[in-house]
């Protein structure tokens, strides 16, 4: 089975002045890609060990246990696909140093809801027992656009205290990813850590709790922080996405270190096939 990142090529020739990093999907291998995603994507929702435990302890089938955790068609499925794809690209290519890899989709209360707080948060521990100033936290805010861009404009707030960078600009997935990645830097990453600790306590995940615990008080603990943005888009929208990207987007959001763009042909068809096949092959 090939790694998910093997199906994407870092293309430095695409829009070289945009400031974005492009990872382009090899559409000629779409069928193989779908099959190689089935286990990793199912694992994002439920581990093999927990699945085995549930089936052995409760009067439910493996297929039922998996299906109850997978999203149905719609925005949640689209968003989940983009996030989980970016999770694997991050740990395999963008942030290989990360060694604590929470799968937040496992903690979701309802498959109808998007995961809470920062989309992806990863950690790198230099020493498993002793905090270090070389420890790191990496976040990824992911936006997915599987259909054409509309002509809607982001709301212009009338109250000065609510006015933000997006106001009055045309819809753009890249803009949304960068804007929300900046929110991670300002507030959401700090809110995500206590959320993860609480969910670890609920699920009795002692080891993961211990690994994340040292990051709980950023003001008292010195560690490295990196905030990133990802736009997963259908290839047919790419040119318009770039055209709508404000020229000052990156300079106005200096907290965001890297902005990745992942264009894919037939994006909606690909992710719907993955989720459909996970259900079909669950035994």
Residue-range domain boundaries for the chain: 4-281
> What would the mean pLDDT of 265-276 be, rounded to a whole number?
96
Question: How far apart are alpha carbons 249 and 18 in whole angstroms?
Answer: 10
Cβ atoms of residues 54 and 69 within 8 Å: no
Q: What is the pLDDT of residues 183-242, one digit of tens each?
A: 999 889 989 999 999 999 999 999 999 999 999 876 567 899 999 999 999 999 999 999
> What would the mean pLDDT of 119-138 be, rounded to a whole number?
94
Q: Which residue has the higher pLDDT, 42 or 150?
A: 42
If you average pLDDT over every residue of the chain, what do you get?
93
Task: Please state the φ and ψ torsions of residue 71, each to the nearest 5 degrees.
Answer: -75, 155
- Band of pLDDT at residue 74, cut at 50, 70 and 90: confident
Question: How far apart are alpha carbons 8 and 10 in whole angstroms?
Answer: 7
Does residue 126 surpass a pLDDT of 90?
yes
Category of 266 on φ-ψ map: left (φ > 0), alpha (ψ -120 to 50) or beta: left
Which pLDDT does position 219 carry in this prediction?
57
Q: Which residue has the higher pLDDT, 187 or 21?
A: 21
> What would the mean pLDDT of 1-9 be, rounded to a whole number?
94
Q: Which pair of structure tokens corresponds to residue 276?
A: 């459909």
Which pLDDT does position 16 carry in this prediction?
95
Question: How far apart are alpha carbons 85 and 97 in whole angstroms?
Answer: 18
Which pLDDT does position 135 carry in this prediction?
95
Could you tell me the CA-to-CA distances from 100 to 27, 80, 229 in Å, in that order? 31, 20, 19
- Of 5-19, 85-99, 124-138, 226-240, give the lowest mean pLDDT range: 124-138
Q: Is the pTM of this model over 0.85?
A: yes
199 contacts: CB under 8 Å, gap ≥ 6: 107, 205
Which pLDDT does position 282 carry in this prediction?
79
Which pLDDT does position 150 carry in this prediction?
84
Question: How far apart are alpha carbons 71 and 111 in whole angstroms?
Answer: 5
- Of 76-90, 172-186, 205-219, give the lowest mean pLDDT range: 205-219
Which pLDDT does position 61 carry in this prediction?
93
- Band of pLDDT at residue 151, cut at 50, 70 and 90: confident
Which pLDDT does position 220 carry in this prediction?
67
| Of 64-68, 106-110, 278-282, highest mean pLDDT | 64-68
């Amino acid at each position: 089975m090939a790694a998910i990142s093997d199906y994407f090529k870092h293309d430095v020739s695409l829009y070289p002045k945009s400031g974005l990093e492009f990872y382009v999907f090899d559409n000629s291998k779409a069928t193989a890609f779908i099959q190689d995603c089935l286990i990793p994507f199912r694992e994002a929702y439920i581990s093999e060990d927990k699945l085995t435990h549930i089936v052995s302890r409760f009067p439910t089938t493996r297929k039922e246990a998996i299906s109850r955790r997978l999203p149905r068609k719609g925005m949640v499925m689209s968003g989940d696909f983009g996030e989980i794809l970016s999770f694997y690209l991050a740990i395999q290519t963008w942030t290989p140093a990360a060694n604590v890899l929470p799968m937040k989709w496992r903690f979701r209360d309802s498959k109808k809801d998007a995961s809470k707080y920062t989309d992806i948060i990863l950690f790198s521990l230099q020493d498993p027992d002793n905090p270090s100033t070389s420890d790191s936290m990496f976040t990824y805010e992911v936006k997915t656009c599987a259909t054409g861009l509309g002509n809607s404009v982001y709301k212009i707030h009338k109250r000065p205290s609510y006015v933000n960078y997006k106001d009055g600009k045309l819809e753009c997935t890249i803009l949304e990813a960068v804007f929300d990645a900046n929110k991670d830097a300002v507030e959401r990453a700090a809110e995500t850590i206590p959320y993860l600790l609480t969910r670890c306590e609920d699920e009795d995940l002692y080891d993961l709790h211990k690994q994340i615990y040292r990051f709980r008080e950023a003001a008292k603990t010195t560690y490295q922080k990196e905030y990133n943005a990802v736009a997963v888009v259908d290839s047919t929208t790419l040119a318009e996405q770039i055209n709508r990207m404000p020229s000052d987007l990156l300079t106005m959001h200096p907290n965001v270190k890297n902005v990745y763009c992942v264009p894919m042909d037939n994006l909606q068809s690909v992710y719907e096939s993955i989720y459909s096949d996970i259900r079909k092959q669950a035994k």
